[in-house]
Amino acid sequence: MQNHCLIVGLGNPGAEYELTPHNLGFLTVDRLADRHGIRVSRKESAALVGLGRMGAAEVILAKPQTFMNVSGPSVRALLGKYDLGPERLVLVYDELALPWMQIRIRPKGSSAGHNGVESVIRSVGTGEFARVRLGIHPGREVGDGAKFVLSPFRRAQWKELDELLEHAAQAVESIIAEGVEKSMANFNRRARGSNTEEE
What is the C-alpha to C-alpha distance for residues 145 and 114, in angstroms, rounded to an integer? 11
Domains and CATH numbers, the chain: 4-187 (3.40.50.1470)
* Torsion of Cα atoms, 160 then 167 then 139 then 142, to 10°: 90
The pLDDT, as a whole number, for residue 189 is 66
Active site residues: 22
* Residue partners of 62: CB distance under 8 A and separation at least 6: 6, 7, 8, 9, 29, 40, 44, 45, 47, 48, 49, 50, 74, 75, 78
What is the C-alpha to C-alpha distance for residues 169 and 55, in angstroms, rounded to an integer? 13
Residues of the chain above pLDDT 70, percent: 93
Residue 158: band (very low, low, confident or very high) from pLDDT cuts 50, 70, 90: confident
113 vs 189, higher pLDDT:
113
The pLDDT, as a whole number, for residue 198 is 44
Q: For 58-115, write each residue's pLDDT tens digit.
A: 999 999 999 999 999 999 999 999 999 999 999 999 999 999 999 999 999 999 999 9
In one-letter notation, the amino acid at residue 160 is: E
- The answer to whether residue 116 scores a pLDDT higher than 60 is yes
194 vs 34, higher pLDDT:
34
* Mean pLDDT value across residues 145-159: 85
Global pTM value: 0.92
Task: Report the relative pairing of strands 47-54 and 4-9 from DSSP bridges.
Answer: unpaired
Q: Quick check: helix, strand or coil at residue 128? A: coil
